[in-house]
A and B are shown apart, each in its own frame.
Chain A
Amino acid sequence: MTMVTAKGSIQRRLMVSLLAGAALLAVALFFIVQSLARQLAEESQDNILLASATSILDASAVRQGELVLDLPYSAFSMLGNLSDDRVFYAVRFGADFITGYSDLEDVRGLGEARFETRDYLDEPVRVVALSRLLSISGRPTKLTVIIAQTRNGQRETLERISSIAATIGLGFFLAAAGLAALASRSAIRPLERLAVSVGRRGPQDLRPVAAPVPSEMVTLVAALNRFMERLKVSLARSEEFIAEAAHRVRTPLATVRTQADITLRRVDKEENRAALREMIRAIDESSRAAGQLLDHAMVTFRSDNLEHSALDVGQLAAEMVDRLHPLAELRDIDLVLDSTSGAMISGDTILIQNALRNLLDNAIKFSPAEGTVVVSVRRLENQVLLGVQDQGKGFPAEGRDRLTRRFARGSNAEGIIGSGLGLTIANEVALAHGGGVEIANNRKGPGACVTLSFPSA
């Protein structure tokens, strides 16, 4: 049988693409959550810085031509609520520095509230500058509050959220992986079901697949059904052909043989009788060869489509011995059955009958007159042995292993009718049943011994 070459796996491919998708989504999720968290953390710091600056601006006014400034306690304590970050500030009125950290510079830009991230005292800080116009001695002057805060709290929040996001991403990926495994398995299941149901069929079962299949498999199953239909037709044809051929060849040969027999009785002249006898011999040989050829064709056909049934080898041998008794008696050969009961195997009755008949044919043919042919059935461990023993010349010492080849004959078989297919048939039948053939000569006395072995049921 030809091995099917496997290349790739649908399930694996499905799994890989699902996992790749899940991984991509998990990573995207991680970055989205992280960027949202960063945005939120920045916004919340900006808001609180702005609130702080606003509270200082709101507490400031010009009274009697002088700037009166107040730093509310809450302005800074609120900055300590979210984190333990360092706080720096400066208040400027026009060009004058009023209070705070004199080297903390304003944020460039337009608008009332301006934000910036920069380094101050060797640490990155978020800076807000908030301005308001106050009128002093009739001139509008800009009061600016600048507040800066380090970003450790924000960084810690981000780290915390990042690790949460990573956990979520990983969890998401693992869940998706589990689902992908389930999904890919369930996607592949109809295929497996189809394979199992087709594989379980008997050799003669060529019915179309009728169970419903997923739409993607309809084409495949339809093609399979069509193929089986064609196979069924061609099998039927070749069976018919075999039967037809057997009929066509055997029937006219039988007629010719009968006519030759009749003619032989009518003819008196010795040289004509000799010619006729030679003709009958040739007809017998052809008839036998045709029979064996048909046997062999059938064995070949049935071996590929073994029909197993429980069968008793002992009983089968007994029936065959019965059937061949007349033939044996014709040559004064004693046909003996030596059988045990319960030698059960699972096999094709017709094939095994065929094999045994061919072996017996050979044995009877090669045995001397008044010889004995023994058919034995034995059980040995988990094997059933079917042996045929004759008292003929035995197998030649050399080239014994090629005797099971088609049309091969022993070097000492000249002068005996035969096609060389008998052992081939027996061998193929044994092999088709998972057994084998042993070809040997009798240890005591002359003669050959052929043993077929079958695994017992």
Chain B
Amino acid sequence: MRHALISLCLMAAAPAMAFEIEARVQFGPDNAATVLNVISTADIDLFAPVILGYLDQTPNTAVDYVAVSSGELMKALRDEGAAFDIAISSAMDLQTKLANDGFAHAHNSDATDALPEWARWRDHVFAFTQEPASIVVSRAAFQGLTMPRTRQDLIALMRKHPDRFMNRVGTYDLRLSGLGYLFATQDARTSETYWRLTEVMGSLNARLFCCSSDMINGVASGELSIAYNVLGSYARSRPDADQFEILLPTDFTTVMMRSVLIPKTTHDADLAGDFVDHVLQTAWAERPPKDATFTIAGEVRNAEDDSLRRIRLGPGLLVFLDAYKKRQFLQAWEDAILQKR
């Protein structure tokens, strides 16, 4: 049994690294000949099945998995030149920026060739999930109310019941979360409604979070009634999933693609390429294994829905990463969400 071979060694932070590590796990045999260093924004629990599948096929190899925030991942690879073989992130813009600025290693294989045009950028960034930005609401908190279907519905609902939602709305803190910033900028690009919604959330003294999982925990504990722009996959994978309603707003739903790239600092590009191929093959399989948490399908395999807006990989993503532009955007966002009450 592969599971028996896993040695868990959670660490707060590795002393040699200046970037902040949230968690670190070593998969595979302790005395493995080669170690694949993975830096990732995905929670270890969710990503473990993919790694175990890989180790099943690749003997004598271990995977050192470091979980970080998307901002820290950028810092590690771009500013500190940390040596990693694989970088997995939900922040498509940061992945694109890394590739654009020459911090990614090119990789070409049958698995990458099989990807559609929209699922890759150059030979560097490869998408392996499609995850819609969802609104997760607590069924308990919405008793007696119609579930909102659009952002307009949600705005109207929050305006109508300010007491019910005061302090009970959660969303990303764009200053901390790369994914939150990506979702917000794409929302703002798509519709002006985003700014109205942000102002209403601001007026309800919305609470700001670093991560999807924290927000969902909040909804689960009853602390929050609404979590805006969170990853539905996190809510769905929980045992108490029936407490939530996962809404995909029908006016538009931004779809993020988690992506993988090989950092330029890799010590073994071939090994890293094999891992990338494994991730892609698992995710893009016609019938993914049952325990696969990340697949290209996600919630949207059959939904060729007009409301789904897949974020396009490419240089457009660089615009909101521009320091000047980001400052402007965050200024506007802060003005809306942190209202002087």
Residues of A participating in the B interface, judged by any CB pair closer than 8 Å = 69-77, 79-80, 84-88, 91, 98-100, 121-123, 152
Residues in A whose Cβ lies below 8 Å from that of B314: 76-77, 80, 84
Asked if B59 is at the interface of the complex by the 8 Å CB criterion, the answer is: no
A74 to B314, alpha carbons, bound, how many Å? Answer: 11
A-chain residues with CB within 8 Å of residue B281 when the two chains form the complex:
none
Which residues of chain A are near B189, meaning CB under 8 Å? 73
> Contacting A72 at CB < 8 Å: which of B122, B312, B319, B328?
B319
A69 to B189 alpha-carbon distance, docked (Å): 17
Hey, which bits of chain B sit against chain A, CB under 8 A? 99-102, 121-122, 189, 312, 314-320, 322-325, 328
Say what secondary structure dominates the interface of chain B: helix
Residue contact A71 to B101, C-beta cutoff 8 Å: no
A87 vs B93: C-alpha distance when bound (angstroms): 13
- Point out the residues of chain B lying under 8 angstroms from A100, CB to CB: 322
CB-contact partner of A87 in B318, B320, B328, under 8 A: B318
Given contacts A73-B316, A87-B315, contact A121 B322 (CB under 8 A): no
In the bound complex, CA of A74 to CA of B320 (Å): 11
Contact B322 A99 (CB under 8 A): yes
In the complex, A396→B320 CA distance in Å?
125
**A71 adjacent to B102 (CB under 8 Å):** no
Contact of A77 among B102, B312, B322, B324 (CB under 8 A): B312
A79 and B96 alpha carbons, distance in the complex (Å): 14
Extra contacts, 10 of them, besides A71-B319, A84-B122, A99-B322 (Cβ < 8 A), are: A70-B325, A72-B319, A75-B319, A76-B318, A77-B316, A86-B100, A86-B101, A91-B324, A98-B324, A121-B101
Q: State whether B316 touches A71 (Cβ < 8 A).
A: no
The smallest C-beta distance from A100 to any residue of chain B, in angstroms, reads 7
A79→B319 contact, CB < 8 A: no
Q: Is the interface of A mostly helix, strand, loop or mixed?
A: mixed
A104 to nearest B CB, angstroms? 11
**Cβ–Cβ contact A99 & B315, under 8 A:** no
Chain A neighbourhood of B102, CB < 8 A: 86, 121-123
Instruction: Pick the contact of A80: B316, B322, B323 (CB < 8 A).
Output: B316
Q: How far is the CA of A71 from the CA of B319 in the complex (A)?
A: 6
**Cβ-neighbour of A71 out of B121, B122, B322 (below 8 A):** B322
Residues of A with C-beta under 8 A to B322: 71, 99-100
Contact of B324 among A69, A73, A88, A121 (CB under 8 A): A69
- Report chain B residues within 8 Å CB of A99: 322-325
Residues of A within 8 A of B324 (CB): 69, 71, 91, 98-99
Q: Which residues of A contact B319 (CB under 8 A)?
A: 71-73, 75-77
Query: Judging by beta carbons under 8 Å apart, are B325 and A77 in contact?
Result: no
B101 touches A77 (CB 8 A): no
Pick 13 A–B contacts, CB within 8 A, sort by A.
A70-B328, A73-B316, A73-B320, A76-B318, A77-B312, A77-B314, A80-B314, A84-B122, A84-B314, A86-B102, A88-B100, A99-B323, A99-B324
Q: Which residue of A lies closest to B117 (CB)?
A: A84
Chain A residue with Cβ nearest B120: A84
Q: Are B325 and A79 in contact (CB under 8 A)?
A: no
B213: min CB distance to chain A, Å: 30
Instruction: Report whether B100 and A87 are in contact in the complex, using a CB–CB cutoff of 8 Å.
Output: yes
In the complex the two chains form, is A84's CB within 8 Å of B121's CB? Answer: yes
- Residues from chain B with a CB closer than 8 A to the CB of A71 are 319, 322, 324-325
CB-based nearest B residue for A149: B315
Write out the residue numbers on chain B whose beta carbons fall within 8 Å of the beta carbon of A69: 324
